[in-house]
Chain A
């Protein structure tokens, strides 16, 4: 029943949300059942939980019945990871940058909290963030607000009538980039990075990378058709990938009127460390955080997620009936009851025990009477009073003006009552990667930087001692990724194993 899956106004989105749930639900239920059985077979008794798109985790049983809540769970984990990594270092304003093989995602953390949207489009046009109505299948469940572009390490570079393009087609992990030597013959971003010296031909872990295959692929499919050198072509591929990822960052920052310059860019995913500093430079971002195990950053994020659920229902009422001196007790009472019911249901979803102390966040949707788009504004804890609703209304006016530049104080109405219940996860951190001093002198590699090849130092991550200053240009390698520290950047490994880079400069125009 759609009223059970998502009891909010708007039959189209409610129907698509319900259909999505029915579509993925049985598959997921069967999968989770098998997973649980096998884990028990291995002697793992820890409860199985599934990340939902808004960044919390759900008990497996609940996730199966509310499958649609998990539709963007992977990318959401990256934003959670970024928030967590930032909090540990007193950084509250972060941009998560999660770049894998096929896509890159950017998410925003402000004041330590990831942004949540209630207008998610499944398969929406990615180029401008997948938020545009009509470009995907809309679902109404809350999701971490992130922008996605079809550009990752495996994205294939191609030419289109004299124009170089990258993606959205991806070579994935199999056959993967040409340099993997697994049968892939088309040049990818990873191949370009290898040609430019950003990646170690020694590869990641067991995997060896073939610079010859990479050069050949870039030469045949990009450099020759465009009539340029192979290195120039590779540099252009790298730059276009950066530009596309810039679009994702742009969507979650500049396009929302948020200046990214005060933020810290957090690199997650195997391909992110190779691009992160260049991406930061595009936006004048002066601080970059590369967490330990950045290559599997999203998975680490999963371990830090809170147990959480959100419930909502339509609650249509003019704000005037709730805030005036003669505010109808009935309307206020109804809102209070609606919120209480939602909270009860959410607590029950999570099997909250009497001695648990969950965080309960209540909010209301508010819009101008006669408009369609509502803002979600939080209510303070405690009883719902004319004053609390009035304050929420003021907050709405403020945010409307910030968003649209229109200072309007017309009558507003409530649209939705919403409750999110969160059982915070344990604050324990994942053990940091150990420092393993190396007796070998650091090697060097020829790396393409700003128009020419230069010999730059190459370090392994584990050889970097806490507090040791690394100055760009240099390359820091890890089992899952390779960090490019361009000229003008310097950084150090902190006691938790993260690398914090600072510096950057405006690129020449």
Chain B
């Protein structure tokens, strides 16, 4: 914010007010800088995952690795990754060895990254000749090698099958891109042009945020900014602690089982004074399949879940992280170690979140705040057999019903905020040899209950050329259970629909399954679980559901149809 200074006379009295005011302005300036970076990345990126969906993150951190500000539409786990990755950059390249104009990139899941295709880019911002702040950007790039185009190989048994591994490395200097490295990366991508375009977009975003930060330093002075950041983080931490102090003191336990039976277990200990410990001790061991989660992702999921119990207007910065002590035992599902893969972490992250919800909501003795489980993100990627095209996308399941309301339809990300970022049909059809025949809510897919679970969706994509598909979903074999007597959501799935209309199920973690020209991929997401006894549902609510086409049955049906695995598990 050039020259955007607010200095209501230094001796205007009311120092507290002045300080609060300066903090407010500074905070806005920092958020704007991060926001602008993410807009630049989205608008100049090539990966279809990004360009139609605006799925990008940008953040400002300080040299101690503390998160200061982030872009508005950032999914919290992406933000957490940028926060987790920076210390590893600083370990590999000590601050005193950095030069102005340096830009670093990494994707290593063991060093704060997410998986091969999510690139994290950092640029130092110098004050008095030393890096004092960092700007970071992150997007899912089009392709970076690995078993499957787009990086979604659900049969990857180790990290090396997921794509090229990047520890923190220097990708650009004041002179521009480090061409040697760019050539290696391009040579390892099925879509080299798009990959390099995405890299440029990431760097452009980090550069823009760095420029804004330099302007802020110029107008607020280095000390002014440093003080402002300290106050901002301290103020946020104070409010976070106030919120956490309202949680019932004691140790509360919860767990959630994934489709394949692996279980995430958590013990949440509230000290009643604003401190919280979240311990995943007892969680199952990591497995040689990409369902494990890197520590940054689990940490992000924890923050998402914990923030559900505090003031939602709290800014997301280091002040939110500080009071929460997260213990993720190495070598478990929630903290994978080499060489275990981590690309499909979102099922595990969502399980960690559900386990925390179960633990904490179960602890409230009065004013229960229960919530049923949600259908979650179901990813898929379709790639051309003869020509190199790629479509990666995901659909969202129905959110679980809550103690006081129905679940929302098709928003069950449990993935760290973010918004619905599913690409539209027409731009896809204009670009790729597919036809999107249907995108709809599935009537009756929400779990029955006093409050109904949110609906899942059905998307039908017809192939106009031979293609292959990778799928990656969870909560399909064990659909999202209801709570307090509510029914489970309807289980979704992936199907191949032949031209004659016959349907064959595809695996929930299938890889490179053929889809001939004329076949369609059908993606159905799971509905959310219901809350409370379906017999207690208000008649007018049931009538509204029928009128809106959300249910088809004339009366609440406690066992939704077409549920391949009718063995719901009670929450907590």
A232 and B17 within 8 A (CB) = yes
Interface presence of B554 (CB below 8 A):
no
B430 and A239 within 8 A (CB) = no
A372 and B200 within 8 A (CB) = no
How many angstroms from the CA of A246 to the CA of B219 in the assembled complex?
14
Bits for B415-459, please: 1 = Cβ < 8 Å to A, else 0.
000011100111100100000000000000000000000000000
Nearest A residue (CB) for B220: A509
Contact of A404 among B21, B24, B40, B424 (CB under 8 A): B40
Bits for A428-466, please: 1 = Cβ < 8 Å to B, else 0.
000000000000000000000011000000000000000
How many angstroms from the CA of A247 to the CA of B421 in the assembled complex?
27
Bits for A100-125, please: 1 = Cβ < 8 Å to B, else 0.
00000000000000000000000001
Nearest B residue (CB) for A375: B43
Given contacts A9-B426, A404-B43, A404-B204, is CB(A243)–CB(B51) below 8 Å? no
Residues of chain A within 8 A of B426, CB atoms compared: 9-11
How many angstroms from the CA of A228 to the CA of B54 in the assembled complex?
44
Interface presence of A95 (CB below 8 A):
no
Contact of A132 among B11, B24, B72 (CB under 8 A): B72
How many angstroms from the CA of A404 to the CA of B42 in the assembled complex?
11
Instruction: From A158-166, A332-340, A348-356, give the one contacting chain B.
Output: A158-166
A12 and B424 within 8 A (CB) = yes
How many angstroms from the CA of A507 to the CA of B1 in the assembled complex?
14
Given contacts A10-B427, A405-B208, is CB(A451)–CB(B24) below 8 Å? no
B51 and A236 within 8 A (CB) = no
Residues of chain B within 8 A of A250, CB atoms compared: 1, 4, 32
B17 and A228 within 8 A (CB) = yes
How many angstroms from the CA of A232 to the CA of B204 in the assembled complex?
42
The distance from the CB of B2 to the nearest CB of chain A, in whole angstroms, is 5
Residues of chain B within 8 A of A247, CB atoms compared: 28, 32
How many angstroms from the CA of A134 to the CA of B2 in the assembled complex?
27
Given contacts A125-B72, A247-B28, A404-B44, is CB(A162)–CB(B4) below 8 Å? no
How many angstroms from the CA of A259 to the CA of B4 in the assembled complex?
12
Residues of chain B within 8 A of A410, CB atoms compared: 193, 197
B3 and A506 within 8 A (CB) = yes
B17 and A236 within 8 A (CB) = yes
Nearest B residue (CB) for A451: B9
A255 and B51 within 8 A (CB) = no
Interface presence of A484 (CB below 8 A):
no
B46 and A507 within 8 A (CB) = no
How many angstroms from the CA of A372 to the CA of B35 in the assembled complex?
19
Which residues A357-396 have CB closer than 8 A to chain B? 368, 370-373
Interface presence of A242 (CB below 8 A):
yes
Residues of chain B within 8 A of A82, CB atoms compared: none
Nearest B residue (CB) for A231: B13
Interface presence of A205 (CB below 8 A):
no
Residues of chain A within 8 A of B200, CB atoms compared: 406, 408
How many angstroms from the CA of A89 to the CA of B430 in the assembled complex?
48
A128 and B32 within 8 A (CB) = yes
Bits for A210-246, please: 1 = Cβ < 8 Å to B, else 0.
0000000000000000111101110110011011001
B419 and A134 within 8 A (CB) = yes
The distance from the CB of A148 to the nearest CB of chain B, in whole angstroms, is 15
How many angstroms from the CA of A508 to the CA of B12 in the assembled complex?
12
Contact of B18 among A236, A255, A508, A509 (CB under 8 A): A236
Size class of the contact patch on chain B: 35 or more
The distance from the CB of B312 to the nearest CB of chain A, in whole angstroms, is 14
Which residues A1-31 have CB closer than 8 A to chain B? 9-12
Residues of chain A within 8 A of B9, CB atoms compared: 235, 450-451, 508
Nearest B residue (CB) for A373: B43
How many angstroms from the CA of A410 to the CA of B45 in the assembled complex?
13
Interface presence of A467 (CB below 8 A):
no
A282 and B6 within 8 A (CB) = yes
A405 and B43 within 8 A (CB) = no
Given contacts A128-B35, A405-B207, A408-B200, is CB(A226)–CB(B16) below 8 Å? yes
Residues of chain B within 8 A of A11, CB atoms compared: 424-426
Contact of B13 among A133, A229, A283, A406 (CB under 8 A): A229
Residues of chain B within 8 A of A127, CB atoms compared: 28
How many angstroms from the CA of A134 to the CA of B418 in the assembled complex?
9
How many angstroms from the CA of A78 to the CA of B419 in the assembled complex?
33
Interface presence of B7 (CB below 8 A):
yes
The distance from the CB of A182 to the nearest CB of chain B, in whole angstroms, is 28
Residues of chain A within 8 A of B46, CB atoms compared: 368, 370-371
A370 and B17 within 8 A (CB) = no
Bits for A475-509, please: 1 = Cβ < 8 Å to B, else 0.
00000000000000000000000000000001111
Given contacts A11-B426, A233-B14, A372-B52, is CB(A239)–CB(B32) below 8 Å? no
B7 and A509 within 8 A (CB) = yes
Size class of the contact patch on chain A: 35 or more
Contact of B16 among A10, A132, A162, A507 (CB under 8 A): A162
**Candidate in B3, B39, B193, B427 with the most chain A CB atoms within 10 angstroms:** B3
Interface presence of A324 (CB below 8 A):
no
How many angstroms from the CA of A228 to the CA of B18 in the assembled complex?
11
B51 and A235 within 8 A (CB) = no
B44 and A243 within 8 A (CB) = no
A451 and B72 within 8 A (CB) = no
B7 and A163 within 8 A (CB) = no
Interface presence of A316 (CB below 8 A):
yes
How many angstroms from the CA of A228 to the CA of B16 in the assembled complex?
8
How many angstroms from the CA of A133 to the CA of B46 in the assembled complex?
17
Given contacts A282-B4, A372-B52, A406-B201, is CB(A133)–CB(B17) below 8 Å? no
Interface presence of A469 (CB below 8 A):
no
The distance from the CB of A2 to the nearest CB of chain B, in whole angstroms, is 11
Interface presence of B498 (CB below 8 A):
no
Bits for B382-425, please: 1 = Cβ < 8 Å to A, else 0.
00000000000000000000000000000000000001110011
How many angstroms from the CA of A307 to the CA of B425 in the assembled complex?
36
The distance from the CB of A331 to the nearest CB of chain B, in whole angstroms, is 16
Interface presence of B8 (CB below 8 A):
yes
A373 and B51 within 8 A (CB) = yes
Given contacts A233-B14, A236-B18, A316-B430, is CB(A284)–CB(B193) below 8 Å? no
B2 and A254 within 8 A (CB) = yes
How many angstroms from the CA of A236 to the CA of B9 in the assembled complex?
10
How many angstroms from the CA of A368 to the CA of B420 in the assembled complex?
25
The distance from the CB of A287 to the nearest CB of chain B, in whole angstroms, is 16
A236 and B21 within 8 A (CB) = yes
Residues of chain A within 8 A of B327, CB atoms compared: none
Nearest A residue (CB) for B142: A370
Residues of chain B within 8 A of A165, CB atoms compared: 24
Residues of chain A within 8 A of B2, CB atoms compared: 254, 259, 283
A283 and B425 within 8 A (CB) = no
Interface presence of A328 (CB below 8 A):
no
Residues of chain B within 8 A of A239, CB atoms compared: 6, 8, 21
**Candidate in B5, B239, B420 with the most chain A CB atoms within 10 angstroms:** B5
Interface presence of B367 (CB below 8 A):
no
How many angstroms from the CA of A416 to the CA of B11 in the assembled complex?
56
The distance from the CB of B459 to the nearest CB of chain A, in whole angstroms, is 13
A134 and B28 within 8 A (CB) = no
Given contacts A128-B72, A410-B193, is CB(A255)–CB(B36) below 8 Å? yes
Given contacts A228-B14, A370-B46, is CB(A282)–CB(B21) below 8 Å? no
Q: A163-B20, A239-B6 are in contact. List 16 more A-B contacts (CB 8 A).
A: A10-B426, A11-B425, A128-B35, A132-B39, A227-B16, A232-B17, A235-B12, A235-B14, A242-B6, A246-B1, A250-B1, A250-B32, A282-B5, A283-B3, A400-B44, A508-B10
* Residues of chain A at the chain B interface (Cβ within 8 Å): 9-12, 125, 127-128, 132-135, 161-165, 226-229, 231-233, 235-236, 239-240, 242-243, 246-247, 250, 254-255, 259, 282-284, 316, 368, 370-373, 400, 403-406, 408, 410, 450-451, 506-509
Q: List 10 A-B contacts (CB under 8 A).
A: A9-B427, A128-B31, A134-B73, A243-B6, A282-B3, A404-B40, A406-B44, A406-B204, A451-B10, A508-B9
Ranked 9 nearest A-B pairs via Cβ: A451-B9, A232-B14, A372-B51, A228-B14, A373-B43, A134-B419, A239-B8, A236-B17, A232-B13
